């Protein structure tokens, strides 16, 4: 539906207003600080590339395409090559497009544009080869190897402080990430008081994106690991569940360091680099592969709808062969064949 009257703001003014909205959402918990910073940076880049003095409503789909192409060709200072700076990766291009699209979606609702030009934009970026290996789900053997290494500390492994058993903490981190698939921001934000018991079942109240919360029951092994960790956690005024060896709340980068440290103890045959987000994919993939209800998996991960969940379901080696061997329309015939084979063997 078109607005009755368009507010012909410039690109610069629209971006400024949108950034104020984004910052307000980060203050109220509607957006994470990291996401807010990305949106603000991307739309500021959009303003420079599109022309700050142009009227936002005058931009067409072709204009947006030109900006997307200009961003794609823009050198990425974070990466370098022998011949100079590399251009933006496909992932960065896709992220930039999402940021710009979110701004125009708000612009259409606010009456800054009559029609959203993103609907006519055609430039898209594809991630070659799908997800990066670190973001893909681990296979069952790889995931079990990681969990096993976390729960069996190497001989002689000691913590840097006697009042903390960091190997117990590391095991809890790996178990929570692999079995519940929280966002890394949700994990480092967790406090001791967020875990409670109801009717003998231990729950984690997770404070997620958009100010939404979800209460997820812990598998028995994870609940036991939590109890063991809390028993070894030093008494401190710090509310954070996960503490560094200095007694401070863990940061996002610390979580990756924990995963890498545990991975180093995994049998090389079943070892593969993975990020916290890759473990989130692992949770979704194996729960769905085991026949868990899709809506239950959605609630565990904290997605608002099932369409988002589809992006977290990765392909597992051999899953098509297993599916065809146990096809639901042929199970009765297969059972009869097995009975016939058994009768023939008795003759």
DSSP 154-194: PTT---SSTT--HHHHHHHHHHHHHHH---HHHHHH-BGGG
**How would CATH label the architecture of 133-316?**
Orthogonal Bundle (1.10)
Annotation says 270 is catalytic:
no
Helix (H) and strand (E) counts for the chain? 14, 5
Listed residue (228, 188, 232, 186) closest to 209, CA to CA: 186
What are the boundaries of each domain within the chain? 11-120, 133-316
Query: Are 11-120 and 133-316 the same fold in CATH?
Result: no
Catalytic residue, from 280, 281, 286, 298: name it: 280
Catalytic residue, from 17, 48, 140, 209: name it: 209
What's the pLDDT score for residue 263? Answer: 93
- Round to whole Å and give the CA distance between 276 and 234: 25
Length of the chain: 347
What's the pLDDT score for residue 4? Answer: 54
Express as a percent the part of the chain with pLDDT over 90: 49
Annotation says 183 is catalytic:
yes
Listed residue (225, 235, 167) closest to 195, CA to CA: 225
Catalytic residue, from 135, 183, 202, 270: name it: 183
pLDDT surpassing 70 at residue 77:
no
Chain-centre distance of CA 234, in angstroms? 30
What's the pLDDT score for residue 346? Answer: 59
pLDDT, tens digit, for every residue of 158-207? Answer: 555 554 578 999 999 999 999 999 999 999 999 999 999 999 999 999 99
Annotation says 299 is catalytic:
no
pLDDT, tens digit, for every residue of 263-300? Answer: 999 999 889 999 999 999 999 989 988 888 888 999 99
User: What is this structure's pTM?
Assistant: 0.64
Annotation says 303 is catalytic:
yes
Q: SS3 of 214, please?
A: strand
Annotation says 209 is catalytic:
yes
- Round to whole Å and give the CA distance between 344 and 347: 5
Catalytic residue, from 97, 169, 270, 277: name it: 277
> CA angle, corner 236, sides to 231 and 240, nearest 5?
80
Fold of domain 11-120: DNA polymerase; domain 1 (1.10.150)
CB–CB of 65/87 below 8 Å? no
User: b/e for 162-196, b at 16 or more Cβ within 10 A?
Assistant: eebbbbbbbbbbbbbbbbbbbbbbbbbbbeeebbe
């Amino acid at each position: 539906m078109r607005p009755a009257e368009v507010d012909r703001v410039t690109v610069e003014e629209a971006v400024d207003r949108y950034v104020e909205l984004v910052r307000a959402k980060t203050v109220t918990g509607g957006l994470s600080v990291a996401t807010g910073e990305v949106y603000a940076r991307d739309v500021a880049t959009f303003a420079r590339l599109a022309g700050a003095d142009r009227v936002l409503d005058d931009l067409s789909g072709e204009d947006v395409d030109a900006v997307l192409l200009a961003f794609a060709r823009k050198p990425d200072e974070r990466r370098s090559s022998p011949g100079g700076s590399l251009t933006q990766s496909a992932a960065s291009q896709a992220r930039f497009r999402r940021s710009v699209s979110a701004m125009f979606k708000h612009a259409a609702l606010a009456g800054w544009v009559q029609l959203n030009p993103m609907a006519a934009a055609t430039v898209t970026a594809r991630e070659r080869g799908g997800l990066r290996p670190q973001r893909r789900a681990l296979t069952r053997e790889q995931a079990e190897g990681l969990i096993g290494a976390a729960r069996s500390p190497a001989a002689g492994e000691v913590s840097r402080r006697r009042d903390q058993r960091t190997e117990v903490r590391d095991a809890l981190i790996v178990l929570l990430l692999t079995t519940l698939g929280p966002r890394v921001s949700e994990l480092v934000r967790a406090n001791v008081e967020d875990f409670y018991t109801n009717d003998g079942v231990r729950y984690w109240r997770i404070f997620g994106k958009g100010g939404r919360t979800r209460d997820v029951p812990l598998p028995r092994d994870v609940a036991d690991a939590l109890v063991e960790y809390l028993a070894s956690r030093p008494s401190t005024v710090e509310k954070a569940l996960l503490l560094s060896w200095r007694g401070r709340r863990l940061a996002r980068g610390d979580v990756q360091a924990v995963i890498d440290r545990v991975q180093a103890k995994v049998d090389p045959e079943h070892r593969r680099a993975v990020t916290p987000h890759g473990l989130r994919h692992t949770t979704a993939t194996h729960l769905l592969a085991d026949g868990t209800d899709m809506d239950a998996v959605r609630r565990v991960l904290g997605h608002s709808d099932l369409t988002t969940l589809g992006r977290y379901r990765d392909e597992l080696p051999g899953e098509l062969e297993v599916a065809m061997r146990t096809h639901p329309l042929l199970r009765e015939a297969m059972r009869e064949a097995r009975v016939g084979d058994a009768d023939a063997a008795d003759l």
